[in-house]
Amino acid sequence: MADHDTIAAIATAPGRAGIGVVRVSGPGGKLGELSQNICGKKLRPRSATLCDFHDGDGVLIDQGLALYFPAPHSYTGEDVLELQGHGSPVVLQRLLKRCIALGARIAEPGEFSKRAFLNNKMDLAQAEGVADLINAATDEAARCATRSIQGEFSAAVHALGRQLVELRALTEATLDFPEEDIDIGTRDNQSNRLGTAQTALGILLHAANQGSLLREGALVVLAGQPNVGKSSLLNRLAGEEIAIVTEIPGTTRDAIRQSINIKGVPVHVIDTAGLRESTDPVEQIGIARTWVAIEKADLAVLVIDTSSGETALDAAIKARLPQGLRCITAYNKCDLAPQPVGVAGVALSAKTGEGVESLRNAIADGIGWHGMGGAGGQEGEGVFMARTRHLAALQRAQTGLARAGAQIGQQELFAEELRAAHEALMSITGEMTSDELLGEIFSRFCIGK
């Protein structure tokens, strides 16, 4: 990727729309001639100018608005030109082709945001927040992504990083003057600072785990015998008729997936074939797929017909669930019979809706969603949108600090573990990140972003 080229791309989503945007970015001074050729006039910085967009033969392509943002006050930190025309794919392709003819090249995925990162317009966590905002599936996810873009996640990382810098400086001072004995006060100071850093890291890791749930969502499988109401429950949770419901056992032959919103978390619910002994080869395939789905699930909801009570087959299904998989027992059809006394679970009626909200709350708890909002706070307040690499970095830092605590009597080893923890932490914002990782991260962005 040549970072000194002029790049161009269609920045709006594919398809027809009222408005479409072609974005161009290049080093300072390179866009003046390009914009003059397309728009036929000199553009005022940071002002919307009504223009006729022309091709190389002077033929009108479209009429729209042109916005010019000179470096360094732009998204990428370079000169940026945005051509806003009608959202016809043909028109936008003609505009893009004109930009290419004037010396630009097609931008690679995420290249605009990568240039913003390389030009210090945002750090790596903020750049990833841009992609997460575009892909946000719920209001809460969008709010958390916005907080990451605004730098709240980065600020928390840097605050913890400063604590580690101070602790490393104190430790390095003891190594620079080995002839001086390390008194008890110095060692206590190190221990106290380390404990403070570990507490702050624990809080940050919890917020990141919650943010990861908002970004990735959770996979919840509805399992149980045939005709216990799994499909009816999926329809009730989704608020629409997704699955076919009949009184015939074995109606559901294949997994049916639907994404729903529970407390702002995208939850991917799978209705599965009823679990029982069967000689029907098609139903056997469905049952096998049910167990595959259960193996991949974050949470299982075992649906039991309250009117029949828990049977030996229900117990056998429970026993076969993967070890460590969280399971909620949902006693369906409570409109026909009460929940068994003294048995833990959620009583509900998929038919009437009674108890379904309690199940939604139980699912939120089961997948580990706690939010961060206090009294009067919004759900998810204080949560940062987090990716797998963020969690891995925080966990490496946590491991490093734990190892440092075990080596506090050996200053050289203590200093080395602190350094490793600090490097892991700062890889989140990109201060200590390899070029290979940058390429992997930005390759997942939209072309025009």
Query: With 50 as the cut, is the pLDDT of residue 201 above it?
Result: yes
Q: What confidence category does residue 438 fall into, taking pLDDT thresholds of 50, 70 and 90?
A: low
**Rounded percentage of the chain residues whose pLDDT exceeds 70:** 87
Instruction: Parse the chain into domains and list their residue ranges.
Output: 7-120, 133-214+384-430, 218-366
User: Which one, of 141, 151, 148, lies nearest residue 379 by Cα?
Assistant: 141
Query: With 50 as the cut, is the pLDDT of residue 21 above it?
Result: yes
Query: What is the average pLDDT across 294-321?
Result: 91
**Bridge partner list, 66:** 49, 83
Rounded-to-integer distance, Cα 117 and Cα 149, Å:
12
Query: What is the average pLDDT across 191-204?
Result: 93
pLDDT the model gives residue 244: 53
CA distances, 231 to each of 104, 235, 257, 284 (Å): 54, 6, 11, 18
Cis peptide bond N-terminal to 72, omega within 30: yes
Q: Are 91 and 85 in contact (CB under 8 A)?
A: yes
Tens of pLDDT, residues 332-386: 998 887 767 667 789 999 999 999 999 999 999 999 998 755 434 455 567 888 8
Q: What confidence category does residue 309 fall into, taking pLDDT thresholds of 50, 70 and 90?
A: confident
Q: CATH homologous superfamily for 7-120? A: Probable tRNA modification gtpase trme; domain 1 (3.30.1360.120)
Report CA torsion sign: 350, 353, 358, 361.
positive
DSSP strand pairing (105-106 vs 7-10): parallel
pLDDT the model gives residue 247: 58
Residues in the chain, total: 449
φ, ψ for residue 135 (rounded to 5)? -95, 5
Rounded-to-integer distance, Cα 152 and Cα 423, Å:
20
pLDDT the model gives residue 375: 38
User: Residue 144 carries which DSSP code?
Assistant: H
Output the CA torsion 401→405→408→412 (10° steps): -30
Query: With 60 as the cut, is the pLDDT of residue 248 above it?
Result: no
pLDDT the model gives residue 380: 53
Q: Which of 155-159, 283-287, 303-307, 385-389 has the lowest mean pLDDT?
A: 283-287
Rounded-to-integer distance, Cα 28 and Cα 225, Å:
67
Query: With 60 as the cut, is the pLDDT of residue 291 above it?
Result: yes
Query: With 60 as the cut, is the pLDDT of residue 437 above it?
Result: no
Tens of pLDDT, residues 203-231: 999 999 999 998 889 999 999 988 888 88
Q: Are 62 and 39 in contact (CB under 8 A)?
A: no
Q: Identify the CATH number of the domain defined by range 133-214+384-430.
A: 1.20.120.430
pLDDT the model gives residue 274: 77
Rounded-to-integer distance, Cα 64 and Cα 429, Å:
38
Query: With 60 as the cut, is the pLDDT of residue 243 above it?
Result: no
CA distances, 88 to each of 13, 21, 95, 104 (Å): 11, 10, 11, 21
Report CA torsion sign: 275, 277, 282, 288.
positive
Please check whether the domain covering 218-366 is classified as CATH 3.30.70.20. Answer: no
User: Which one, of 66, 61, 64, lies nearest residue 80 by Cα?
Assistant: 66
Q: 94 or 228: whose pLDDT is higher?
A: 94
Rounded-to-integer distance, Cα 15 and Cα 5, Å:
28
**Rounded percentage of the chain residues whose pLDDT exceeds 90:** 56
CA distances, 435 to each of 8, 88, 144, 391 (Å): 23, 37, 27, 20
Q: What residues have CB less than 8 Å from 8, skipping those under 6 apart?
A: 22, 23, 24, 25, 96, 99, 100, 104, 105, 106, 107
Q: Which of 93-107, 214-228, 237-251, 308-322 has the lowest mean pLDDT?
A: 237-251
Query: With 60 as the cut, is the pLDDT of residue 292 above it?
Result: yes
**Three-state SS at 400:** helix
Q: What confidence category does residue 43 fall into, taking pLDDT thresholds of 50, 70 and 90?
A: very high
Tens of pLDDT, residues 107-155: 999 899 999 999 999 999 999 998 899 888 888 889 999 999 999 999 9
Mean pLDDT of the chain: 86
Query: With 50 as the cut, is the pLDDT of residue 1 above it?
Result: no
Query: With 90 as the cut, is the pLDDT of residue 22 above it?
Result: yes
Query: What is the average pLDDT across 16-26?
Result: 94
Q: Chain centroid to CA 146: how far?
A: 12
Rounded-to-integer distance, Cα 403 and Cα 407, Å:
6
pLDDT the model gives residue 420: 93
Query: With 80 as the cut, is the pLDDT of residue 95 above it?
Result: yes
Rounded-to-integer distance, Cα 227 and Cα 304, Å:
9
Q: Are 380 and 144 in contact (CB under 8 A)?
A: yes
Q: Are 431 and 117 in contact (CB under 8 A)?
A: no
